[in-house]
Amino acid sequence: MRFKIDENLPLEAPALLRQAGYDAVTVVEQGLGGRADSDIASMCQREGRALVTLDMGFADIRGYPPREYSGLVVLRLRWQDKPHVLETVRRLITMFLDEPLEGHLWIVEEDRLRIRD
């Protein structure tokens, strides 16, 4: 799987995905920091990358229909401090093996995962 990590996640997040064998790049590495959500989404589509973000705007299936993407992973966390976010990313890595991501929206909370088509 290929991932794009939004600029609102800790810099260590892509490293965790890479250590697990995934291809992960960040919005910042690609010079897309500060760009509009629609630009980031278009780049994900062109590159065939699933987006991992804290931005709840990507959970709007009218604006970002999941079937048009390689995956949208929105972290909807009560606490967004660095250790908590990184622990959530570690949990996600194990979930990628069990649940479909392509063409789906994952809304990840502390105690549950919701998957939408």
pLDDT on residue 26: 97
pLDDT on residue 37: 95
Tell me which residue range forms the domain holding 76. 2-116
pLDDT on residue 89: 97
pLDDT per residue rounded down to tens, the chain (117 residues): 999 999 999 999 999 999 999 999 999 999 989 999 999 999 999 999 999 999 999 999 999 999 999 999 999 999 999 999 999 999 999 999 899 999 999 999 999 999 998
Total count of domains within the chain: 1
pLDDT on residue 31: 92
Per-residue three-class SS string for the chain: CEEEECCCCCCHHHHHHHHCCCEEEECCCCCCCCCCHHHHHHHHHHHCCEEEECCHHHHCCCCCCHHHCCCEEEECCCCCCHHHHHHHHHHHHHHCCCCCCCCCEEEECCCCEEEEC
